[in-house]
C-alpha cells in the first residue's frame, strides 16, 4: 500500500517535503476555520450581506498589495525563515481575536482589522508556499507535489466547514479562532526542522525583480490569458462562498446548513482534483481545462436558481458540482503554469497567481453590494454572466484551447 502511494506521489518520499506537507494541513485547515468563523461572526453581529462584502475586501486588498512584494521576497531570501515568521504572527493575531470573542468584547471593526492584518502577512506567506516545495524535492517528483498541495486545500475545504458549523453551534466562533491559532503554531514548529538552500540574491533591485515578473506574465501569451481567466473566475464566481451565510439564511438551514453548503463544495473539489490528477499528459488538456470552467458557470447559475426556489437538497448537489468543475479548471491551469514558469521567477509569477484566491473575498464585496439591492440569486447570476463572457473570449484563443499536456510534461525545467 505504502509503495503504491509513493509510486503515484513520489514527493512523499522526501522527508522535508513530507514534514512540510503534513504541517500545511494544520495551517491550511486553520485558514478554512477562520474564514468560516469571521464570516459567521460578522453576519451574527450585523445581519448584513454588505458587511460580509466589507469583510471580503479587508481579507483581500492587503494581500493583493503585499503579494507583489511577497513574490520578490520569496525569490530573494530564506523561505524557511519567511514561513516561520508569517506563521507565528498569524497565530498571535488569531489568539487575540479568540480572546476578544470569548470575553464578549469583540466588535465588527476588530474582526475586520484582524482579517486585514492576516491578509497582509499572507501576502508574504502564500508566494513562499507555492515556491518552496521545489527546494524540498527532485524534479521527478514535481508533478506529484503540485497535486498534493492542491489536495490539501481541497480536502480541508471538504471537511472543515461542516465541522466548523458544528463547533459554532456548540462552542461558538471563538473556538474556531483558537484552533486556527494552534494550526499556525504547528506550521511554525514544523518549519524549525526544515532547512532549505538559500538562492543567491540577484543583482537586480526588488523593484526591478517585481517588474521582471510582471513583464514575463504580460509578454507570455499562456500566462497572460490563464491568469486573467483565473482572476475573473475567482472574483465573479468563486466569491459566492463569501455570501454563503445569506443563502443559508434564505434556505432556513442555520449554522449547520451553512457548514454543509461549504462542505458540499469541498467534497466536489476533492473529487474534481482526483479526476484530473492523472491528466497532466492528456492530449486535449486545454479543452478539459476550459470545459471545467464552462460547466462550473452553468452549475453555479442553477445553484442560484435552486436556492431562490428554496430547494435545499438540489442546492447542495449543485454546490458540489460547481466545485467539482471549478477544481478541474484550477488544478489543470495551475499545473500548466507550474510546468512552464522559469524556476528563478517561480516566487514572483506563482505569487501573483495566488492573488486570484484573494480576489474571492474581494469579489464578495461586489456580490454582497449587488445582493443588498437585487437579492443574492440575481447577484450570482450577474457575476457568472460576466465570467461567461470572458470565458467565451478565451475559448477563441487557439493556443489555450489546443494545449497538449504531453508536450508540457516532457518539456525541460525552466
Least confident window among 310-314, 365-369, 395-399: 395-399
Judge whether residue 4 has pLDDT over 70.
no
pLDDT of residue 414: 46
- Residue 2 included in any domain: no
pLDDT of residue 404: 62
Single pTM value for the model: 0.76
- Residue 4 included in any domain: no
For residue 290, what are the contacts with CB-CB under 8 A and spacing of at least 6?
A: 329, 391, 394, 395, 400, 401
- Residue 3 included in any domain: no
Dihedral of alpha carbons 247, 126, 22, 413, sign:
positive
- Residue 348 included in any domain: yes
- Residue 126 included in any domain: yes
What are 190-228's pLDDT values in tens digits?
999 887 766 555 566 767 777 887 888 888 888 888 889
Q: Quote the percentage of the chain above a pLDDT of 70.
A: 89
Q: Quote the percentage of the chain above a pLDDT of 90.
A: 28
Tell me how crowded residue 322 is: count the other CB atoms within 10 A of its CB: 28
- Residue 313 included in any domain: yes
Please compute the mean of the pLDDT values over residues 74-102 and round it to a whole number.
Answer: 91
What are 274-331's pLDDT values in tens digits?
777 555 555 677 788 888 999 999 999 999 999 988 899 999 999 999 999 998 888 8
Chain Cα centroid distance, residue 51: 21
**Confidence at 114, pLDDT banded by 50, 70, 90:** very high
Least confident window among 38-42, 138-142, 365-369, 391-395: 138-142
Return the higher-pLDDT residue of 122 and 403: 122
pLDDT of residue 334: 81
- Residue 17 included in any domain: yes
- What CATH number is associated with residue 18? 1.20.1250.20
- Residue 200 included in any domain: no
Please tell me the total count of domains within the chain. 1
Residue 251: give the domain boundaries: 10-192+206-410
Judge whether residue 168 has pLDDT over 80.
yes
What are 99-108's pLDDT values in tens digits?
999 998 889 9
Amino acid at each position: 500500500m505504502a509503495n503504491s502511494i509513493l509510486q503515484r506521489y513520489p514527493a512523499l518520499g522526501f522527508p522535508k517535503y513530507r514534514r512540510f506537507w503534513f504541517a500545511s494541513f494544520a495551517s491550511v485547515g486553520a485558514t478554512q476555520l477562520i474564514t468560516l468563523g469571521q464570516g459567521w461572526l460578522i453576519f451574527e453581529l450585523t445581519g448584513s450581506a454588505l458587511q460580509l462584502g466589507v469583510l471580503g475586501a479587508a481579507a483581500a486588498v492587503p494581500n493583493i498589495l503585499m503579494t507583489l512584494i511577497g513574490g520578490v521576497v520569496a525569490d530573494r531570501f530564506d523561505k524557511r525563515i519567511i514561513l516561520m515568521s508569517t506563521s507565528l504572527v498569524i497565530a498571535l493575531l488569531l489568539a487575540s481575536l479568540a480572546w476578544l470573542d470569548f470575553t464578549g468584547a469583540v466588535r465588527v471593526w476588530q474582526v475586520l482589522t484582524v482579517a486585514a492584518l492576516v491578509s497582509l502577512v499572507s501576502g508574504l506567506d502564500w508566494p513562499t508556499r507555492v515556491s518552496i516545495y521545489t527546494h524540498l524535492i527532485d524534479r521527478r517528483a514535481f508533478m506529484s507535489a503540485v497535486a498534493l498541495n492542491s489536495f490539501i486545500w481541497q480536502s480541508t475545504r471538504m471537511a472543515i466547514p461542516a465541522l466548523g458549523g458544528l463547533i459554532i453551534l456548540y462552542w461558538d466562533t471563538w473556538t474556531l479562532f483558537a484552533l486556527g491559532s494552534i494550526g499556525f503554531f504547528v506550521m511554525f514548529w514544523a518549519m524549525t526542522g526544515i532547512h532549505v538552500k538559500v538562492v543567491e540574491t540577484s543583482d537586480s533591485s526588488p523593484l526591478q525583480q517585481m517588474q521582471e515578473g510582471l513583464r514575463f506574465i504580460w509578454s507570455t501569451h499562456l500566462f497572460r490569458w490563464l491568469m486573467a481567466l483565473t482572476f475573473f473566475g475567482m472574483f465573479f464566481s468563486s466569491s459566492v462562498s463569501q455570501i454563503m451565510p445569506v443563502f443559508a439564511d434564505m434556505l432556513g438551514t442555520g449554522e449547520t446548513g451553512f457548514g454543509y453548503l461549504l462542505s458540499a463544495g469541498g467534497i466536489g473539489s476533492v473529487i474534481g482534483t482526483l479526476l484530473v490528477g492523472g491528466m497532466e499528459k492528456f492530449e486535449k488538456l486545454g479543452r478539459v481545462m476550459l470545459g471545467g470552467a464552462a460547466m462550473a458557470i452553468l452549475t453555479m447559475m442553477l445553484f442560484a436558481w435552486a436556492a431562490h426556489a428554496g430547494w435545499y437538497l438540489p442546492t447542495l448537489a449543485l454546490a458540489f458540482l460547481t466545485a467539482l468543475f471549478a477544481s478541474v479548471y484550477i488544478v489543470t491551469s495551475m499545473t500548466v503554469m507550474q510546468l512552464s514558469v522559469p524556476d528563478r521567477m517561480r516566487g514572483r509569477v506563482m505569487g501573483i497567481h495566488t492573488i486570484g484566491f484573494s480576489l474571492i473575498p474581494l469579489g464578495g464585496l461586489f456580490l454582497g453590494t449587488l445582493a443588498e439591492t437585487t437579492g443574492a440569486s440575481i447577484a450570482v447570476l450577474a457575476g457568472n454572466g460576466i465570467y461567461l463572457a470572458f470565458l467565451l473570449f478565451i475559448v477563441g484563443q487557439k493556443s489555450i484551447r489546443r494545449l497538449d499536456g504531453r508536450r508540457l510534461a516532457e518539456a525541460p525545467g525552466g
